[in-house]
Amino acid sequence: MEEERNDVHGYAKLGKAKRETDHHTRGAFTNLSPPLDAYNAVYLAFVLGGAGFLLPYNSFIMAMDYFKVRYPGTPVVFDMSLVYIAVALLTVLGNNLLVETFSLNSRINFGYIMSFITLIFVVVCEVWWEAFGSATSYTVNLAAVAVVSIGCTVQQSSFYGYTSMLPPKYTQAVMVGESTSGVFTSTVRVLTRFLVKELRGSTIYFFTVSVSSVATCFAMYHLIRRTDFIQFYIALCERAKTRITLEPTEDAGLIETTDTQYGVLKIQTSPPPTGNSLSFANPAYEPSAAVPTYKVEDIVIRGRPSVSTSGVGLSSLKRGLQARWEVTKAIYPYMISICLVYFATLCLYPGVASEVISCHLGSWMPILMMAFFNIADLIGKMLASARYWTGARLVRCSVARLIMIPLMIMCVAPRSHPIFSAEITALIFSLFLGLTNGILGSVPMIQAPTKVEDRHRELTGNMMTLLYMFGLAAGSLVAYSLENILNPVEEHPCDYHSNIQVQEKTVHNVVNTTVDTIISSTPSTTLAKALLSLTTLNSTDTV
């Protein structure tokens, strides 16, 4: 509908096609001076926000040493990852449908409260008191992971919707925070194990640090939420959601009418007079701005509230679906790209990466693989720049990146003799996987909100998170299938080398024993012949 296209940006004649020279809502305010992010405090707060909603999950995963001792012989880490991703996918679907029902602040607070309460319950009842039996405790921990997944996913999706209304670098800040979370929890776990030798005690301290960190992130969010910087950009997006229609749909300013229910939209250069007239000036941020203001005289306004203020009903559902379709048409390359990126990553990390075997590094090999990935991922997200990338380039690179799946599989298959058996090859693949995940996973989230109208920015962030979680879930299912194909290890590659060494040592011992026996029990002539026979036999075997 023509009216639908003309009621968002600027003020165009109703019933007429909008000219290409009409300004974008933000462009219409280019002469305004947005508040500054002093000392990058808002940026750092969003880095903490990105770290905060992944800290609970990373805390469960990094405490794998405790859980493996607590539940020996069980795939506890794999079960936790599977439960978290499955519940997260369902949650992000529900959050995307209910994004207009609950306010942004309510959803973020809900996520923090769920994470905070669940972590306190685990550290007090499960780790400290050990209040449950082994079987019950296993179920309780999986349920705790599911609850954390609900809270963190609602929070994650809402944070991306939040930063979509801000300049693009704040979306990057959230993604940097996600990678920082993994590095932070790894460091804290190493330090607690080093400082507290007793496993249960170190785990209590580890979860205590995690709870304190989540509380810090929560406090920082509320400190920056009411700043002028945040309120300025949110006000621009909220303003774009309000639609005003002037009746009739013809050029009301060019005709004479005695019908007092309609009026004229006039432009005036002086500040609007006080009284009952309606003005679109913005004195909150530019009280002295000498720019044209818009005044409505003698008018009946039919206000069309945004979808977020509409009631629940068929018409509201229709508008919501139409809005999502408009967003999808504008950002579908970025949706495809981010889905493919995280699909490839979850196919290989942490499952296949943890299966790489090194006869020299031993149990340190999977730790190094994960460390290389996390560090490269953090560097990639910090270096991500949206200047070079277009939607088509992102899709092409994301498709090309799928080649990493067979390449890394060849580092673990066949299990007895992997095609790429050198440790350095697997480590380089892990570095490349992390670096490309950081870059190609950040740019779509940064660019997508800039391709839609201001009123759809929050919805865009939620829809991108939906495709992000779909890629994670699909990749996890493929990783589970790959793990079943690769296991069990019938002939360990390190066992092959050790068997060769054992055989050589056995042959050496047999030869020495034979020589000693011959020397002690035979005359010199017979001894010389026997030694000559052994030497000839040894030479033949060598050839």
pLDDT in tens, 378-397: 899 888 766 788 899 999 99
Residue 437 pLDDT exceeds 70: yes
Q: What are phi and psi of 93, to 5 degrees?
A: -65, -45
Query: Higher-confidence residue: 466 or 277?
Result: 466
pLDDT value for 310: 44
pLDDT value for 316: 72
Fold equal for 33-240 and 309-495: yes
Query: Helix 423-447 to helix 314-348 angle, to the nearest 10 degrees?
Result: 160
CATH topology of domain 33-240: Growth Hormone; Chain: A; (1.20.1250)
pLDDT value for 334: 95
Residue-wise pLDDT tens digits, 189-217: 878 888 888 888 989 999 999 999 999 99
Q: Calculate mean pLDDT across residues 147-154.
A: 92
Q: Calculate mean pLDDT across residues 157-168.
A: 86
Residue 22 pLDDT exceeds 50: no
Residue-wise pLDDT tens digits, 252-309: 444 444 444 444 444 444 454 544 444 444 444 444 444 454 444 444 444 444 444 4
Domain regions of the chain by residue span: 33-240, 242-308, 309-495
Residue 243's DSSP bridge partners are 304
pLDDT value for 183: 83
Residues 6+ apart with CB under 8 A from 331: 391, 448, 451, 452, 460, 463, 464
- Annotate 451-470 with b (16+ C-beta within 10 A) or e (fewer): bbbbbbbbbbbbbbbbbbbb
Q: Calculate mean pLDDT across residues 12-20.
A: 38
DSSP codes joined into one string, 1-68: -HHHHHSSSS---TTSPPPTTPPPTTGGGTTS-PPP-GGGHHHHHHHHHHHHTTHHHHHHHHTHHHHH
Q: What are phi and psi of 279, to 5 degrees?
A: -125, 150
pLDDT value for 189: 84
Sheet holding 264-268, edge to edge: 264-268, 293-297, 278-279
Is residue 169 within 8 A of residue 44, CB to CB? The reply is: no
Residue-wise pLDDT tens digits, 316-335: 778 878 888 989 999 999 99
Residue 2 pLDDT exceeds 60: no
Is residue 347 within 8 A of residue 482, CB to CB? The reply is: yes
**Residue 302: how many CB atoms within 10 A of its CB?**
10
Separation between Cα atoms, residue 355 and residue 348, nearest integer Å: 10
Query: Higher-confidence residue: 129 or 540?
Result: 129
pLDDT value for 426: 94
Rank 111-120, 316-325, 498-507 by mean pLDDT and report only the highest.
111-120
Residue 85 pLDDT exceeds 50: yes
Separation between Cα atoms, residue 207 and residue 211, nearest integer Å: 6
Nearest Cα to 339, choosing from 509, 491, 463? 463
Residue 41 pLDDT exceeds 50: yes
Name the band, by pLDDT with cuts 50, 70 and 90, for residue 66: confident
- Strand pairing class (243-246; 278-279): unpaired
Query: Higher-confidence residue: 185 or 295?
Result: 185
Q: Model pTM?
A: 0.64
Rank 68-72, 162-166, 266-270, 400-404 by mean pLDDT and report only the highest.
400-404
Residue-wise pLDDT tens digits, 342-368: 999 989 987 788 788 888 887 678 778
Name the band, by pLDDT with cuts 50, 70 and 90, for residue 171: confident
Residue 340 pLDDT exceeds 90: yes
CATH code of the region 309-495: 1.20.1250
**Residue 490: how many CB atoms within 10 A of its CB?**
9
Nearest Cα to 474, choosing from 336, 317, 330? 336
pLDDT value for 489: 55
Name the band, by pLDDT with cuts 50, 70 and 90, for residue 516: low
Task: Provide the percentage of residues in the chain whose pLDDT is more than 70.
Answer: 69
Separation between Cα atoms, residue 498 and residue 534, nearest integer Å: 26
Contacts 24+ apart (CB under 8 A), 287-294: 289/31, 289/32, 291/31, 292/267, 292/268, 293/267, 293/268, 293/269, 294/11, 294/265, 294/266, 294/267
